[in-house]
Amino acid sequence: MTQTKGLEGIVAATSKISSIIDGQLTYGGYTIDDLAEHATFEEIVFLLWNDRLPKQEELDQLAKALVDEAHVDDAVLETLKKAPKTANAMAAIRTAVSQLALYDEASEDMSREANYAKAIKLQAQIATLVTAYARIKKGLEPVAPKAGLSYAANFLYMLNGEEPTEVAEKAFNQALVLHADHELNASTFTARVCVATLSDIYSGVTAAMGALKGPLHGGANEAVMKMLVEIGSVEKVEEYVHNKIENKEKIMGFGHRVYKDGDPRAKHLQEMSRQLTAQIGEPQWYEMSIKIDEIMQAEKGLKPNVDFYSASTYHALGLDTELFTPIFAVSRMSGWLAHILEQYSDNRLIRPRADYIGETHRTYVSINER
């Protein structure tokens, strides 16, 4: 049996959804650079779920459904309202995602049609849950989406109660496009393992939310922002980073299991961060990031991943730090759902083996003789 720690280098599925080949990320064969420049998030959702770009009519239908299906049951909103103010945002939203199953009569229907319909609901409702959570925490009522707005614009509208500027909509759309899918990353693999038992789609995305939450995965973007705040100024970067390196501590937002020569998504977020932090008159977040980046590349040979510049980008968009990972989930929901549908279409239970390294040949000893 082959064994590799962290399943490094193991190919555990075949997939048509996205690929990382020679450091290049594609969704269904389209490069991420091409898509980041031209595509709307709705087009990406369709592409990931259907392995082709939509025609205009199909895109209009999907965009409408993502607004029409956004309503969540009051009981789920109550859960968010009742969550302690000290609760972790991802924990609260993961719980609400799980609860959605209780209010969907088709939750156990395993037909392709029912699962596709549930995918649309989940993609619509994750935006409702994240924005409702953010507003509830501030003592505000949730805002329903507006027909005719894009998914990106609607998210910011539901969050802030006012329509975003064109610049904010474009930047947020691009961030959603860049985070939508990423081959067999930890949360997507979790989703596939879960549904490969033929468990339902809600269980699959709830499991994925749990995996995304960790700081080695989606939680890294929040950790990066906390680090930037902790450092406080460009002058203090050098000492901070060198201390971390000397103490053998990790700097969040750097390194990657698959990319060894840089994450192709990072340059887009870097440019967004540069523009947006300048626009809000807070270039220090970008400048600190650049300095950290230079030191990490020079001293450790490590390049930034998707989470590094997304932190200052989201901050410049006025988003609270605790929403960074939930926003990652809003986008990655599309990828999880694509992989879940693909797993169902050609399923086999995912069940690896463990290399047992514990004691052997022990005999039970009764409690008063131990």
Asked if 256 touches ligand COA (CB under 6 A), the answer is yes
By rule CB under 6 A, what count of residues binds ligand COA? Answer: 17
> Which range binds ligand COA by CB under 6 A, 78-86, 116-124, 302-310, 325-333?
302-310
Tokens 């009742």: give the residue: 82
Using DSSP's 3-state secondary structure scheme, residue 250 falls into coil
Q: DSSP assignment of 321-343, as one string?
A: GGGHHHHHHHHHHHHHHHHHHHH
Q: Shortest Cβ distance from residue 151 to ligand COA (Å)? A: 23
Cβ distance to ligand COA smaller for residue 40 or 187: 187
CB of 193 to ligand COA, least distance (A): 19
Token pair recorded at residue 290:
């650049």
Q: Which residues, including other chains, have CB under 8 Å from residue 301's CB and lie 6 or more apart?
A: none
Query: Quick one: which of 98, 173, 273, 305 contacts ligand COA (CB under 6 A)?
Result: 305
Q: Is 60 a catalytic residue?
A: no
Whole-angstrom Cα distance, residue 293 to residue 47? 33
Q: Is 267 in the site for ligand COA (CB under 6 A)?
A: no
Q: Which part of the chain contacts ligand COA (CB under 6 A), choosing from 113-121, 227-235, 254-262, 336-344?
A: 254-262
Any contact of residue 254 with ligand COA (CB under 6 A)?
yes
Among 73, 72, 27, smallest CA distance to 49 is for 27
Please report, as residue ranges, which positions from 1 to 60 form the binding site for ligand COA (by CB under 6 A).
Answer: 6
DSSP secondary structure letters along 173-240:
HHHHHHHS-BTB-HHHHHHHHHHTTT--HHHHHHHHHHHHTSTTTTTHHHHHHHHHHHH-SGGGHHHH
Between 64 and 260, whose beta carbon lies closer to ligand COA? 260
CA distances to 103, 121, 187, 201, 279 from 110, rounded to whole Å, are 16, 15, 22, 9, 48
Active site includes 268? no
The answer to whether 168 contacts ligand COA (rule: CB under 6 A) is no
Angle, to 10 degrees, between the axis of helix 56-68 and the axis of helix 41-50?
100
Q: Does 198 bind ligand COA (CB under 6 A)?
A: no
Is residue 183 within 8 Å of residue 20, measured between CB atoms?
A: yes
Task: Determine if 180 is a binding residue for ligand COA (CB under 6 A).
Answer: no
Which residue in the set 89, 307, 310, 330 belongs to the binding site for ligand COA (CB under 6 A)?
Answer: 307
Question: Of the ranges 46-54, 128-136, 165-173, 214-222, which one interacts with ligand COA (CB under 6 A)?
Answer: 214-222
Edge-to-edge strand ranges of the sheet holding 24-27: 18-21, 24-27, 30-31
Question: Are 167 and 143 contacting, i.e. CB atoms less than 8 angstroms apart?
Answer: no
Residue 187 or 334: which CB sits closer to ligand COA?
A: 187
Note the residue count of the chain. 370
Based on CB atoms, which residue is closest to ligand COA, 6 or 139?
6
Residue 257 interacting with ligand COA (CB under 6 A): yes
Counting contacts by CB under 6 A, is residue 253 touching ligand COA?
yes
CB 87, min distance to ligand COA, A: 23
Q: Among 63, 124, 175, 251, which residue sits at the site for ligand COA (rule: CB under 6 A)?
A: 251
Decide: helix, strand or coil at residue 276. Answer: helix
**Residue with the shortest CB distance to ligand COA:** 255
Write out the residues near ligand COA by the rule CB under 6 A.
Answer: 6, 216-217, 220, 250-257, 300, 302, 305-307
* Residues with a known catalytic role: 256, 307
